[in-house]
Structure formats: C-alpha cells, structure tokens
Structure 1
Amino acid sequence: MATILIVEDSQTNMELAVFLVESNGHRALQAIDAEIGLTLARTEKPDLILMDMHLPGMDGMEATGLLKRDPATRAIPVVALTALAMKGDEERILAAGCDGYISKPFRYKDFLATLERHLGDRPSA
C-alpha cells in the first residue's frame, strides 16, 4: 500500500481522486491548498503527490518547485492534475518539475495507470 497525497481545491475532484486511490488499495492524504500540501509532504513523506495546478494562493507549479528544491521531498514524484490542456501546457508543467501529467476531467483508467507507473513495483493492498 502506497501513501498518496492529493492536493486539490475542488471538492468533487478530491472525492473522485480519493475514491480511485483508495479503491486501488492505497492510502489517500488530502490537502485543499498548496500550503497544507507542502506541510503534509514534509511530515508524511508520501510515495506520490497528485498536485492540482490551479490552487488558491500558491499555485501547483510554485508548490512543485518548492518540493523539488527541498532535499527532504525532492525524490517524491509529483503528478500534475490539471485542466490545462492547450498546446504547450504539458511541457510547461513538466518543466516546472512535475514528473507526470493527468488532464481533467480525468479518465479513471488513465488515472490508475499513471499512479501505477509512478509507484513502480510497489504492490497495492
């Protein structure tokens, strides 16, 4: 079982992501903004972070940059959850430090495949 931190300000998207993570045998941590997400990342050391790019206050790209510059969290994979789907958006997000990209609205099979790709050989429960 992996621990996955979901940083998402939309209640609907959070509920769906938590459902998918937990139904795949993993533990979900929840943060509604980047500041809470950064704190949880540093204290809980999740195996993967799913980061919304449009958050109140600090956005997901800035938060990802902070995580990737911090020796305590830089090795944690960060996958962007975003509605940004225009040409060039994925490249900008990856250049900001994200390790992967899931566009919203997400398809559950793609969502789960991305989780497993970034979790590697870690078995689910």
Structure 2
Amino acid sequence: MGAENLAYALTQVVHNFGAAAVLGGAVFALWPASRLGDGRQFAWLILLAWGAQILSGGLFGVTSFYYYGEMPDLSSVAMTALVVKVAAATAGFLLAAVYLARGKEWGHAGVKRSFQGLAALATLALTAAAFLRWFS
C-alpha cells in the first residue's frame, strides 16, 4: 500500500462524511417533519461539516502536490466543477455561520429558507463533485 493512496483514502473518508452531513443535516432539519426548533444543533453540525469539506478538499490538492510535485491536471469541465464546488462550500459555511450568529432574530420563514438554502448548496456541491470526479 502506497502512502499516497492511504493519504487520499483517509482524506476521502473525511470528505464523504462531510458531504453526508451537509446535505443530511439540512434535509433532516426540514423533512419529513420540520425540526427547526432544534435548528442551531443542525446548523453547528452543518457548519463543522462544511469546514471538513473545505479542509479535506484542500488536502486533496496538498496531497497531490506533496507526492507528485504538481497539482492535478484538470479538464475545463472539471475545473468549472471545482470552482462551483468551492463556491457552494464557501457559501454554505458562511450561511451556517450567519445563521448561528443571527438566526435567533429570524422568524420561522427565514430559518426555513436558510436550511433550504443549505440543502440546495449541498446538492450543488455534491453534483459538482460528480463532474469533478469523472471529468478530471
């Protein structure tokens, strides 16, 4: 077993669990019955999961650079998907942070829209990940 394969696999584990938590946390808070009364707990989970997504995503690039001396050569489709994924992750992290900082002041509709936005951003990031994976 090569050290680079172990590094990629462990990074992928963190990335996969982060992906599950950003989408699952938002969807579970909204459906099948709203759990937005406990929204702050879900927002903390989602914030930490977005952080894990951002850090592990960067670690993929660092691992490539460390073991191969260069960043992965990405096609234009994969590069676009990466930009979309990074933008979605950044926006999701910021939305969760803003909700945690100011969400107590928002009405039910604002909180619901926040979690719908978090679910949409997670869906966008996961969709972009598929294009990044298969077009790189």
- Fold shared by both chains (TM-score > 0.5): no
TM-score (norm 1): 0.27
Identify which of structures 1 and 2 has the higher relative contact order when contacts are C-alpha pairs closer than 8 Å and 6+ apart.
2
Structure that is richer in helix per residue = 2
Instruction: Using structure 2 for the length normalisation, give the TM-score.
Output: 0.25
Q: Which of the two has higher C-alpha Rg? A: 2
